[in-house]
Amino acid sequence: MKTAAKSQGADARTIETLKGLLKGEIAATETYTQAISRIEEHRQVPLHESRDSHARRAVELRSRITVLGGVPEEGSGAWGAFARLIESSATLHGRDAALAALEEGEDQGLRDYRSALTTVDGGTRVWLETELLPAQIRTHALMSDACRSGNEPTLGAGGMMPTMLMALAISFSALIGTG
């Protein structure tokens, strides 16, 4: 009986961890969609590719949660609303601030996936390490490169706004327990 209870507890923890990752992927997809509609020269930045990668990960997470017996999240919750607010504010302050906010979101995604590795069951850990984490690393690299490519200013070059946005994002994630 203790083994079954322990197994169910581990599965519940795995499902909750995956639900948290799913909320992040939904929020990222929504945020990239918003950025695409607001950044005029979005074709020069890999926003569509990044959004589509996050959307694919959301589909994969939903599927895994269902297989494990959980009910997937449908929305991004408080984190998504906050991410959209940050992206809206950043977009108002220009392309560089918007890209810096997206890059910070990718940083948070990396932290979330790496943290998840310590709280999921062994099979899910392997799946995350071989499938989703590499995809997160790729979207992070795309946004980092976009922020630093060619004539693009580096993170923080847009003045205080990117730094303030990052501080707000970090504070909010600590408040709601996602980071």
Residue extents of the structural domains in the chain: 2-176
Phi, psi (deg, nearest 5) at residue 56: -65, -40
The CATH number given to 2-176 is 1.20.1260.10
Q: Which residues contact 144 (CB under 8 A, 6 or more apart)?
A: 103, 106
CB 97 within 8 A of CB 91: yes
pLDDT tens over the chain, length 179 residues: 333 334 455 589 999 999 999 999 998 898 888 888 777 665 567 889 999 999 999 999 999 999 999 999 886 555 555 555 555 554 555 667 777 788 888 999 999 999 999 999 999 999 999 999 999 999 999 988 887 863 333 334 444 444 444 444 444 444 445 44
